[in-house]
Structure 1
Amino acid sequence: MQSFKANTQLIWRGYKEAYSFEPKLIIFSILQGMFQAVMPFVSLFFTSWILNILFVNPSFEELTPVIAMTLIASFASALLANGLDHYRIALIYQARDKKDMKLNNKVIFMDYEFIEKSDVHEMRNNLDMAELTGGQGIFYIFSETKRLVSQLFTLLISIGFVLSLFFAEVPEESPLSYLNSPWFLIGTVIGYVLYYMYASKLYKRVVNAMYSMLEKGAHTNNIYGFIMGQLMDYQSGKEIRLYKQQKLYDKVFDNMSQMTYQSLTDMQHEENKGTIVLQTLIHLVLGLGFLYSALKAIGGAILPGSIVIYTGAISNFVQTFPELVSETSRLYNNHKFLGKYFEFLELKSVKHEGTLPVEKRVDNEYELEVRNVSFKYPGTEDYVLKNINLKLTIGEKMAIVGMNGSGKTTFIKLLTRLYDPTEGEILLNGIDIRKYDYDEYLQLFSVVFQDFGLFSFDLGQNVAASTEYNEEKVISAIKDAGFFSRFEKLPNGLNTFLYQNFEKEGVEISGGEAQKIAMARAIYKDAPIVVLDEPTAALDPIAEFEIYSHFDKIVGDKTALFISHRLSSCRFCDEIVVFDEGRIVQRGTHNDLVKRRNEKYYELWNAQAQYYVEDNEGLIKEVALT
């Protein structure tokens, strides 16, 4: 009973959620459901009326207005039904968009560590799969409320007519007077109660089979979703063809198809086990109902023409009752999918959410200190960073170097609070960063990650990360990032779309150009702390050195942190910190570190130095290999 109460409350919560997205949708679904239930009986009523006139007292004068009313009612109801249906469908699309936006906002604002968890992706994908494969979850409320209301009112109206048939008495002198016995009504009620219990049990098994299918197929659905995204991205076309990846995709689609086929077969098997019995019962009851109506008419309890409306009511009742049983069972069992929906929305932040405002300083005097910080990713046992101690002083230009997997990017994630340290603390002006308001703390950083993302919006919006921006400031940032020569050739200036996903006149940009735009975005933000995490990997060494040197002038007195595999680009930094296997193994200036021939920095530098020379003006040039 406790479980039933909790499940019912969850369903009611689902309806309130749907109402919050589009209140008119629920209202119009109810109105349209009621209208749809009434209309067949209006048609049956007029047909019965016409037949009774013909049987009792045929008269053209009496038939004409009835036929006219029948035509008018039929025409008006068709127009109204069509209008209501189109409007309701439009409301469904609006409500679904708002629902999707709420789910997407959850993804945007949830803790970053959730984004890197596969089980969170599976939760999100399962919500979509529940809609696509069975119309479950919140979408069920959007789409099926009308059907549920229609079935309920059809059943109630049918019951009214059927009861009136039961209570229409055959004259006592008739040999069919035994039809007046209440046992006919009692037997019918008992039969339908038993039917309801059996049908509910059957549909519960079907829903459980569907739920099991979604649980088992979550991982495969994730893979399928990723591959579909790749196939829809025209930029993936080169690798697919050059590396003959078609067979790989075919294999995944084949596995997905086999899993879906098996799951749907299991669901159909569960449903078919009871379908024959249910359909047999339905048609048996339908035949008995028609016979009962005919006998009542023969016995004189009802007019001959009324057989139409009574048999129609019996037919609607017999057909609607199992549908309503199925629909109410589906509604009740939808609590499982609604539970997953609310579980996703209620994923709790694991970060400590501080409230301390960050001091706004015109002089940009913000000092960061890392004390005894160690870190391992949630759910893992190995430390990625171990006992890191580092201070980034005001206005300092610091470079972090090291081999792949040494922990450099993870360090930046901690510094920007995408993750919190497992051990130790990070301080801003002497205060633990976890005590600061998270959004205010993030405003201190302009970051370009090595896996930065640009969007298929116009150039101005990409640089400003906003739909509204200062055009002069955007152009200035583009100049400082070294993209201005390309910018001057764009057909629509700042309004030129990047890529052709949404705009056929969009421009394709190279990897190096994309990195310059990403740096322009960091410049535009104008934050006091600048972080560049290998943002120029797609550039040639000379272009990278020129950009970093120019960027040093742009940064000015701001605090800056640079990460690069190419050590020549870090020579202008005040200090270089060397990471190796999650630890700081060296620190100092380039000239100091390069002298330590038996240590890590010299090893890294020596591996690259053979490819560069310095000209008479002190500029780095790439050596031509022979």
Structure 2
Amino acid sequence: MEVWSVKNKIARFFRFCNYLSDLEHGYFICVIISNILKAIAPFVNLYFSKKIIDAVLVNMSSSEIMKYVWAMVILNLLIMILQGYFESRGEYHNLNMMKKHEMKKAKKLMNLDYEVVENDCLQTSITELYSLEQHGVYSLSNFNKAVADFIASIAGVVIALYFSIKFFEAKLTFKGIYNGEINLIFITLFILLNVLSFMIINKTHESAGNFIIKEGNKVLRYIKSYMNIMYNYRVGKDIKMYDMNLAENSMKVYKRNMFYVFSSFWTRLEKGNTIAKILSSILSILIFLFVGMKAVYGSISVGQIMLYTGAINSIFKNVSGVVNSLGILIPTDFYRRKLFEFMDIDKRNDCEKSLINKTQSATYEIEFKDVSFKYPGTDKYVLNDINLKFKEGKRYAVVGINGSGKTTLIKLLLRFYNPTEGQITINGIDIRKYNHDKYLDIFSAVFQDFKLFSLKLGENIASSTEYNEDKVKQSMQKVGLSRFLQKNDLKDYLYREFDENGIEVSGGEAQKIAMARSIYNNGNFIVLDEPTAALDPISEYEIYSQFDNIIGSNTAIYISHRLSSCRFCDNIYVLSKGALVQSGSHNQLISDINGEYYELWNEQAKYYKRE
């Protein structure tokens, strides 16, 4: 079992390297070359210093000595230039890689079924990834640095061993202990101290990682939420209007939590690093003693003292570099496992499913057949035994008080979730048999919690960087944004995140822009979930009185607990506590004085009258 676990970790490591290489092809090439040059650089000085010292001791001519000096200077200059070039390119590729990594995760999230995205387990997993990536040990840049250090250290060890072979061959006898035995004692101590250092560093990083997962997630979730609030200038008026102590108290909690997380995290790391530094100092002393002994007993020359001291010290430093790198790369397997668990989540696999031919001339009929639904992980049914139809070209309203199941019904219609029981069909065929994305092409929607983006006005409405300007303007005019359009250009940004002169839209304007977006995309079915919640009753009436012009020949489905839309609809479905309790036209339902619709209408009717 343990062997299998090690195999999995090794496989994940190489998979992660391939993943990063695919994100940015030039990165690892630059890293390998720059770090091999980094490993070579010290030995150029050591080798030529030894040559120069030996030349001086044998009274070689100054012109011969200068040849060594110039060779050392030129090689150092060449290595410095090449290393600087590849390091700068590596930094460039590293920055690109991190951006592409974030985009890769975002695209993965966008491609998942909505049911998966809303799941608490996935949200926890995303929070864990965010938490790990915000800390140096687990960050992508730190992994890249550890890989670079590992490559440089391995190269350094190989080069240093090459220069050290003759040192170990140099004869030395000390108090009856022969050269081979002395070498063995030194190598044994060298290995033991490095293994001990690796074990300490590895355990330290594992402890720090476990702390982040077990203790840090809840704190970091708070911190992330707090930062989102503080940096969103649009909530500033609410903070100023009400209790400033709320924000100040949140800041105190934020600072306290930040101090707790980072101090605890780095305290755990520093304990291991301090012990590793002590072991490093002990090993340095052993190296100088070992080289010094061979020098004192005449086993090596004066020039060789510098070369071998530097070479063996380089072995030690580079082995320590390997140990430190592995102390990061091995414990951070936890992050790689979490990342690939997320990346390997099955997205919808419906490439072989039937396609819907989206044309305005096509006729569709959607039917809910005995549909019941409860959210994953819960036992309570939100919808119970729903039977209804949406026919092409008709106007529908789905009404009911808050919590009656209206929005959930739309989530099922748009395949954000699948029914727990029953089925939804289009032209008699279960919608699950159709390609998901092609199915959604026949819909346009304005959600209750719609979002506008801090992009250009035209891009917001078209949901694309490329759009038909005339069509965008027509969509805006249909929803009553003619005056707004006269004051603002389609190329103007909404809000001020990307442009300090961006347009600050009101709640009602934002809702109309969202409606214009649904009209521009021209779905066969236009779903409007509380589409006029931010509008005053008169503006709401004006929208609905023009709705034939707005919707055209498309099917309209209004979801609302405000009933001003119902008079314009062909059929009204009334939901109560997850059940369909009434259906019919406005006149039919209003005549049933014992029905729920009659009660809702009379309660709200006074708000739909002009003064």
Please indicate the TM-score interval, normalised by the length of the shorter structure: over 0.9
Amino acid in the other structure paired with 1:598:
N
**Cα pair 1:372 1:425 within 8 Å, conserved:** yes
Cα deviation code 1:399-457 (max 9, x no counterpart): 11111111111111100101111111111011110111111100110111111111111
Residue 597 of structure 1, aligned match among 588, 593, 597:
593
Residue 392 of structure 1, aligned match among 381, 390, 393:
390
More displaced stretch, 603-612 vs 344-353: 344-353
**Cα pair 1:529 1:558 within 8 Å, conserved:** yes
Q: Which runs of 5+ in 2 are unaligned?
A: none
Residue 37 of structure 2, aligned match among 27, 35, 38:
35
**Cα pair 2:476 2:516 within 8 Å, conserved:** yes
Cα deviation code 1:479-500 (max 9, x no counterpart): 112112111111xx21111111
Amino acid in the other structure paired with 1:102:
K
Amino acid in the other structure paired with 2:603:
A
Residue 164 of structure 2, aligned match among 162, 184, 187:
162
**Cα pair 2:395 2:570 within 8 Å, conserved:** yes
Corresponding residue number in structure 1 for 2:222: 223
Amino acid in the other structure paired with 1:392:
F
Identical aligned residues as a percent: 36
SS at match of 1:530: strand
1:244-393 alignment runs, 5 A limit: 244=244, 245-261=246-262, 263-264=264-265, 267-268=268-269, 271=272, 275-276=274-275, 278-349=276-347, 355-393=353-391
**Cα pair 2:444 2:526 within 8 Å, conserved:** yes
**Superposed displacement of residue 249, structure 1:** 2.1
Amino acid in the other structure paired with 1:498:
L
590 and 442 in structure 1: CA distance in 2 versus 1, 3 angstrom threshold: same
Corresponding residue number in structure 1 for 2:130: 128
CA–CA distance in 1 between the matches of 2:605 and 2:278? 86
Residue 603 of structure 2, aligned match among 603, 607, 613:
607
Corresponding residue number in structure 2 for 1:616: none
TM-score normalized with structure 2 length: 0.94
1:135-154 alignment runs, 5 A limit: 135-136=137-138, 138-154=140-156
Corresponding residue number in structure 1 for 2:445: 447
**Cα pair 2:493 2:502 within 8 Å, conserved:** yes
**Superposed displacement of residue 215, structure 1:** 1.4
SS at match of 1:134: coil
CA–CA distance in 1 between the matches of 2:63 and 2:355? 86
**Cα pair 2:202 2:330 within 8 Å, conserved:** no
Q: Which runs of 5+ in 1 are unaligned?
A: 614-620
**Cα pair 2:397 2:571 within 8 Å, conserved:** yes
Cα deviation code 1:69-123 (max 9, x no counterpart): 2322333322222222111100101111111111110111111123223432332
498 and 444 in structure 1: CA distance in 2 versus 1, 3 angstrom threshold: same
TM-score normalized with structure 1 length: 0.92
385 and 561 in structure 1: CA distance in 2 versus 1, 3 angstrom threshold: same
More displaced stretch, 103-112 vs 297-306: 297-306
CA–CA distance in 2 between the matches of 1:612 and 1:463? 29
CA–CA distance in 2 between the matches of 1:223 and 1:354? 43
CA–CA distance in 2 between the matches of 1:36 and 1:424? 66
333 and 446 in structure 1: CA distance in 2 versus 1, 3 angstrom threshold: same
Cα deviation code 1:341-399 (max 9, x no counterpart): 11001112478777012144542411111111111111111111111111112221111
Amino acid in the other structure paired with 2:186:
T
1:50-65 alignment runs, 5 A limit: 50-57=52-59, 59-65=61-67
Cα deviation code 1:32-60 (max 9, x no counterpart): 11110010111122222222222221532
Corresponding residue number in structure 2 for 1:541: 537
The RMSD of aligned alpha carbons is 2.2
More displaced stretch, 21-30 vs 114-123: 114-123
444 and 153 in structure 1: CA distance in 2 versus 1, 3 angstrom threshold: same
SS at match of 2:171: coil
**Cα pair 1:200 1:325 within 8 Å, conserved:** yes
Cα deviation code 1:570-615 (max 9, x no counterpart): 21111111111111112222222223333321221122223343xx
Amino acid in the other structure paired with 1:3:
S
CA–CA distance in 1 between the matches of 2:462 and 2:278? 67
Amino acid in the other structure paired with 2:115:
E
Corresponding residue number in structure 1 for 2:21: 19
CA–CA distance in 1 between the matches of 2:348 and 2:206? 32
**Cα pair 2:384 2:578 within 8 Å, conserved:** yes
CA–CA distance in 1 between the matches of 2:164 and 2:92? 37
SS at match of 1:425: strand
Corresponding residue number in structure 2 for 1:574: 570
Corresponding residue number in structure 1 for 2:579: 583
**Superposed displacement of residue 179, structure 1:** 7.6
